[in-house]
Amino acid sequence: MRLLITILILLLIVLQYRLWVGPGSLAEVNNLKQEIAELEQELVGLKERNRALQAEVKDLRGGQSAIEERARSELGMIKEGEVFYQVIQSPEIPADE
């Protein structure tokens, strides 16, 4: 009878160890759940970015206005007959001089 009780107590200790500390423990499960939540948030952001990029590609393939806007903003291009004005601000002079 003592042997059976000792075996059951040892089994209980081993199972408690695995529950709290060992592989598949509650702490590990909680860490994995948190990591899954973070990855899902990142996935949502990446999906939104993909939608925006797909819309931009569609605009660039479909019309000249998007291409023209890009050429103006990124390359500094102007249409024929337009006049380009560049505004240069003078450096600020410190007030104590």
Q: Are 60 and 54 contacting, i.e. CB atoms less than 8 angstroms apart? A: no
Judge if pTM exceeds 0.85.
Answer: no
Domain holding 56, by residue range, is 36-76
Examine residue 12 and state whether it is found in any structural domain, yes or no: no
Total number of domains constituting the chain:
1
Query: Is 90 exceeded by the pLDDT of residue 45?
Result: yes
Residue 89 lies in a domain: no
Q: Are 34 and 40 in contact (CB under 8 A)?
A: no
Is residue 25 in some structural domain? no
Q: Is residue 61 within 8 Å of residue 67, measured between CB atoms?
A: no
- Does the residue 58 lie in any domain? yes
97 — pLDDT class (breaks 50, 70, 90): low
Q: What is the pLDDT of residues 2-18, one digit of tens each?
A: 999 999 999 998 888 87
User: Is position 42 within any domain?
Assistant: yes
Per-residue pLDDT band at 64 (split at 50, 70, 90): confident
8-state DSSP, 81:
T
Burial label for 71, CB within 10 Å (0-12, 13-18, 19+), is middle
